[in-house]
Amino acid sequence: MTPPQPADQSRRASVPSHAAKEHARLCEQLNRHSHLYHVDARPEISDAEYDDLYRELQALEREHPALVRPDSPTQRVGEEPQDKFETVGHVVPMLSLDSTQEAEEVARFDERVRKALGAGIDPVYVLEPKLDGASIELVYEDGVLARAVTRGNGRSGEDVTANIRTIPTVPLRLRSEERSAPSVLSLRGEVMMYISDFQDFNAGLVEAGSEPYASPRNSAAGAVRQLDPGVTASRKLHVVAYDVLFVDGATFATDSEGVRAIREWGFMVPERVETVRSSEAIMAYHRAFADVRDDLDYEIDGIVIKLDDLAARAAMGSTSHHPRWALAYKFPPRQEVTRIDKIDVQVGRTGVLTPVALLLPVVVGGVTVSRATLHNREELRRKDLREGDTVRIQRAGDVIPQVVEVVEPGDDRPPPFEMPTECPACGSAVYEDGPRTICPNRFGCPAQLKGRIIHFGARHALDIEGLGEETANLLVDRGLVTALAGLFELTAEQLMALEGFAEKSATALVDAIQAKKQPDLDRFLTALGIPEVGVTVARELAAHFGSFARIRVATREELETMSGFGPRMSEVITAFFADERNGAAIDALLAHGITPTESEPRSSDLPDLGTAVFTGTLPVARVVAESAWRGVGGNTSGSVSKKTAFVVAGENAGSKLEKAQKLGVEVLDFDAFVARLREHGGDIEVEA
């Protein structure tokens, strides 16, 4: 929190002490009663009495403006509408969760965690409902709300602090009666709208002649991104916090300790958070929530399973997409019956032709569905789906709804639908790749170009403000952009001829595009839409090679030396750069002055300390010990060979110890391993 400037200190010093004390009392009372009403659902005073206190505070602040603070209850709606949202980075990445609907996958997840922890250590899992809202990061500095950021691409998002301030269940200052506030705190939560409030809100929209929202989640996400905080305040929103992303000034050994702290700091937390020790208990929890799902006044689409031990979590780490220590166990998708009116074909950004069913609109789980994917030609044939058929559809998560099966064939069924031999968007001859049908005109197909422009300017790529779907469609349909490089030839005069553009907005878009001529290398790689190259892979490539020129000519063998880069990924990346049409499109971009940043290729300063193998029951989770050794430059393996540097043998060590002795590999007990670790600057904490 920024300290007051001398002038502010002077102004506050001029406030009479009795006024300052009265202000503090009113703030404390209003915050307490707001928490009792919105979070605990047990109000102690009437709405009229609360309003009286609020008016007293307003009058006091009008008389003494120096008393107004960012965390005052009067400041929940106190900011002017914004022109746009600033993009800011998260304190730590906000990853998505791996998910499944299969009990067998949950059992395999449990097995993987047990294997990582090692023999003799049973995992403790935290279970909670998987809330279906809009993810948000809340950052507090010295106990005061400093910023609120949408999830965005997981690394950065939009600063929506002014809007989040308007939500009553978000403390502007952390409660400190039970637990003191840390110096810095980053929490992850979900912005929710209760189903009953959503239905009332949609009814009002329909009555006013406006388009209703599709779901409570969409409504909540839309409300958070309103440029006018007053609009956000008019929606009945709640924030449920459930994860400590980062904390400075407090320590937790387990996730469940963190959840308790979140509650004590004044937040709503998920209902019925439990800790269990077996996959059977996980199944029972899942069944219990599935049974009451339709009776809840908020949307959930499953449960979340998280390892409770935070040190073990850190050691298990994450993939580029999700943490290895958590799993979302989703409910079966909701289903409804409707009719296929027509089968159409859409062309995606990567050139894949997808058959899509245009449906008689039907509500599925609170969302109106009028389109459903038919996946590919083989799936279409297998299910024998035709126009006029009555079908069962399902909606799972955010994906486009799917057609499950034919319930009743239509009258006078037409012949089976056949995929076109030419791309419906550009007329190029398509080719088949397994079950997929693909247009090869990667950078010349208008449908693919629209998708590529959207991807090129997306927040996780070049982040070009104003270059969204509607604009991309206009640019291609009007012939203003026929290749990606054409974006950098646009003029304000050309844009002003398009619907929705005035001089100011046209100039702003041109300036926004031109400002991206020296992008970060990883963002440029992401923007190109290279198969298999998302944000994380792009970041790894940029750090490893340092320049676009080096990446462009990298061989499969060079790529495969990188951690996580297997033969398939390496082949796909090199094939992309070897394609002549791709090369021509990239050369055109570079010819327009695009110059990605360069840096020295990454090199590790850590020595190669050899490979360690851990066996038997250790005083810490095995994954923690392995992580500690890798942290000082060593490697780890699950099997013993002649190349193994040493084996760490705990109690009840078995075949790995025997093999090490047979091969003459050095064997250490745990204390000797910790001593060696410390020799190389590492350490490991062992609970007494």
* Whether the Cβ atoms of residue 574 and residue 562 lie closer than 8 Å to each other: no
Nearest to 472 by CA among 443, 444, 446: 446
For 446, the enclosing helix (H) or strand (E) is helix 446-456
All residues at 6 or more sequence positions from 347 whose CB lies less than 8 Å from its CB, including other chains:
353, 354, 423, 424, 425, 439, 445, 447, 448
Residue 477 φ/ψ, nearest 5 degrees? -60, -35
Cβ-based neighbour number of residue 369 at 10 Å: 20
SS3 at position 32 = helix
Cα–Cα distance measured from residue 480 to residue 472, given in angstroms and rounded to the nearest whole number: 10
Cα–Cα distance measured from residue 244 to residue 242, given in angstroms and rounded to the nearest whole number: 7
Cα–Cα distance measured from residue 596 to residue 126, given in angstroms and rounded to the nearest whole number: 44
Cα–Cα distance measured from residue 304 to residue 99, given in angstroms and rounded to the nearest whole number: 9
Place of tokens 């043998």: 649
- Cross-strand bridge partners of residue 338: 391
Radius of gyration from C-alpha coordinates of the chain:
29
The angle, 0 to 180 degrees and rounded to 10, between the axes of the packed helices 670-679 and 622-631 is 20
* Whether the Cβ atoms of residue 653 and residue 675 lie closer than 8 Å to each other: no
Which DSSP letter does residue 488 get?
Answer: G
Cα–Cα distance measured from residue 587 to residue 594, given in angstroms and rounded to the nearest whole number: 10
Cα–Cα distance measured from residue 39 to residue 269, given in angstroms and rounded to the nearest whole number: 9
* Whether the Cβ atoms of residue 373 and residue 356 lie closer than 8 Å to each other: yes
Cα–Cα distance measured from residue 491 to residue 474, given in angstroms and rounded to the nearest whole number: 14
Nearest to 187 by CA among 299, 266, 99, 127: 266
* Whether the Cβ atoms of residue 650 and residue 616 lie closer than 8 Å to each other: yes
Q: Regarding beta strands 184-192 and 156-158, do their DSSP bridges make them parallel or antiparallel, or are they unpaired?
A: unpaired
Q: Return the C-alpha torsion angle 620, 625, 626, 627, nearest 10.
A: 110
Cα–Cα distance measured from residue 386 to residue 384, given in angstroms and rounded to the nearest whole number: 7
Sheet holding 326-330, edge to edge: 99-100, 326-330, 300-307, 125-131, 274-276
- Cross-strand bridge partners of residue 371: 358
Burial tier of 361 (Cβ tally within 10 Å: 0-12, 13-18, 19+): exposed
Residue count of the chain: 688
Place of tokens 């965390």: 71
Q: Regarding beta strands 184-192 and 238-248, do their DSSP bridges make them parallel or antiparallel, or are they unpaired?
A: antiparallel
Active-site pick, 115, 130, 642, 659? 130
* Whether the Cβ atoms of residue 586 and residue 528 lie closer than 8 Å to each other: yes
Is 659 assigned a catalytic role?
no
Residue 236 φ/ψ, nearest 5 degrees? -90, 90
- CA of 306: how far to CAs of 217, 265, 325, 404, 450, in Å? 23, 22, 6, 31, 39
Sheet holding 184-192, edge to edge: 144-150, 134-141, 184-192, 238-248
Instruction: Count the alpha carbons within 13 Å of 143 in the hemisphere toward its beta carbon.
Output: 12
Cα–Cα distance measured from residue 545 to residue 450, given in angstroms and rounded to the nearest whole number: 30
SS3 at position 148 = strand
Q: Which residues are catalytic?
A: 130
